[in-house]
Amino acid sequence: MSVREVIVQKIPEIFKPSLQMFFKKVIFLKRALRRNPIKEIKIKRLQEKLLRENYSSGTKKLIIFLTPGHDIVNGGILSISSIYEETKKLMSIHKSEVIMCTIPGDPPLLRYTKFNNQIYIYGFPQVLSYFRNIEKIVIHIPEYVISRFLRKISREYKVKLAKIKDVHFNIMLQNIELLPENVKEYISEFKKLGKVTCTTAHEQYSTSEMRKKLGIPLHNLSVYISPEQYDRKSYAEKENLIIVSPDNHPEKMGILGLIHKQLPQLRIQIVKNLPYEEYKKLISRAKWALTFGEGLDGYFIETIFSGGVSYAVYNSEFFMDDFKLLRTVYDNYEMLAKKICFDIKELDNEKAYTEYQNEQYTLCSKYYDYRKYVKNLELFYRGEYTYE
C-alpha cells in the first residue's frame, strides 16, 4: 500500500475530498518542476510554423478545445479529442476552423503520443494572437479548470475576447465530481465575457435540475464510447485475468488482497501507463474488470463492450437507476468486498458468464450509441440544446 493510500485510509471521511484535491495539486506542481525550457521553446516555434501552414490568420470563425498539456491518456483526453475530431467533420454546420489548445498554465505540448491521433496542439495565447480577425469564437473548457482558466488569462487576452462580436464558452462537464462547488460564481465571470453553455457526458446529471443549478443552457452530449469500436471476445477466448482501474481508494488494497487470497489463480493487473491501443487489447483478453473510479467509467463500459464482465460500486452521480439491477454493481464497498469473490466463482463458466455478459452488454448499449453522440454534437452547433 502506498503512503498516499495509507494517509487517505486513516483520516475521517469529511476530510477526504480536500486531501484528494491536495494530492492533485502536488502532482501538478511536480509536473511543473519537470518542465524543460529549451524543449518548450522548440515546441512553440514548431507550433507557430504549423499555425501558419494549416490556418489562415484571417479566419473569422473559430472553435477552440482546451486540453491538458501533459502527454498522457485518460478518459477525459480521449473524450475531448473525439469531440474535436467530430466537430471538424461538422464544418458545413458551424462553418468554423477548429483547433486544440493546451489549458492556460499547462506546459506546451505538440501532440499526444499515447493513442492514435493526428491532432496538433497549440498554446491558447498563441492562438488568440495569431487569429486577428475573429468575429465568432467558441471555447470548450473542461469543468475542472474553469477557475484556473479565469485566473490564467491575462487582462490583455480578456480585452481581445471583448473585441470579438460573438464569444461562447462551453463547459465540458465530463465528471460531475470535478465541478467546483461555487461554479455559479465562475459562470457569472464567464457571462461578463460572453455566452455560456454546458455539455454533459452522462445522462444521470443531464437534467432540468442541473440546468437550474447552473443557470445556463445544458446539452446532453454523451461520449465517444460505442459497442462497434471494440473487439468483443467470448468466454472461451478470455484469459483468467481481472483488470483494475488505477484510481486510488482506501478500500482498494484490502479488496485486491482478498481477491488474491480467495482466487489465487486469477491474475490481477492494475492498468497503468499503457498506450490506449494496448489497453484495448488488454481488456479484450480479460474476463473481468473492477473499477475504483466513478463507477460508470471507461474501465467498466469498455470491458463490457469487449466481452468482459465488470464490477463496480453504484454511484448515483453517474449510474442510471437500471444499473442497480446488475448483480456486479454493489451498493457500497463493504458489499463489494463481501460478494465479489463469490460472484466471480459463480459466473466463471461459459453458460452463466455468457448470459450475464449479454445482460451487461445490452444495458450499456442502450445508453452508448456513437450515431446518437454525433447527432447530439450536431444539435449543439445548431443551438438546439437539451435544456434551453
pLDDT in the model for residue 13: 44
DSSP-derived secondary structure letter, 242: E
pLDDT in the model for residue 82: 95
Residues in the chain: 388
User: Same domain, yes or no, for 221 and 201?
Assistant: yes
Q: Residue 136 is part of which domain span?
A: 34-47+54-226+370-382
User: Same domain, yes or no, for 236 and 168?
Assistant: no
pLDDT in the model for residue 3: 42
Q: Are 310 and 360 in contact (CB under 8 A)?
A: yes
**pLDDT (tens digit per residue) in 161-178:** 999 999 999 999 999 999
Tell me which residue of 144, 77, 146 sits closest to 115, measured CA to CA. Answer: 77
pLDDT in the model for residue 9: 44
Cell (9 digits) for 344? 466471480
User: Same domain, yes or no, for 40 and 184?
Assistant: yes
User: Same domain, yes or no, for 307 and 376?
Assistant: no
Task: Report the predicted TM-score, pTM, of the whole model to 2 decimal places.
Answer: 0.83
Q: Are 364 and 348 in contact (CB under 8 A)?
A: no
How far apart CA 182 and CA 270 sit, in angstroms, is 34
User: Same domain, yes or no, for 202 and 237?
Assistant: no
User: Same domain, yes or no, for 192 and 284?
Assistant: no
User: Same domain, yes or no, for 119 and 261?
Assistant: no
Task: Read off the CATH number of the domain in which 130 is found.
Answer: 3.40.50
Give the contacts of 133 (CB within 8 A, at least 6 positions apart): 57, 58, 59, 60
**For residue 11, is it within any domain?**
no
pLDDT in the model for residue 30: 54
pLDDT in the model for residue 153: 84
Residues of the chain with pLDDT under 70: 1-34
User: Same domain, yes or no, for 119 and 163?
Assistant: yes
pLDDT in the model for residue 115: 93
How far apart CA 156 and CA 162 sit, in angstroms, is 10
Tell me which residue of 285, 287, 258, 252 sits closest to 270, measured CA to CA. Answer: 252
How far apart CA 328 and CA 31 sit, in angstroms, is 37
Three-class DSSP category at 328: coil
Strands 97-102 and 267-270: unpaired
Strands 218-220 and 97-102: unpaired
User: Same domain, yes or no, for 206 and 263?
Assistant: no
pLDDT in the model for residue 364: 95
pLDDT in the model for residue 279: 95
User: Same domain, yes or no, for 268 and 336?
Assistant: yes
pLDDT in the model for residue 113: 95
Number of domains in the chain: 2
Q: Are 267 and 290 in contact (CB under 8 A)?
A: no
Give the contacts of 52 (CB within 8 A, at least 6 positions apart): none
pLDDT in the model for residue 38: 83
User: Same domain, yes or no, for 202 and 236?
Assistant: no
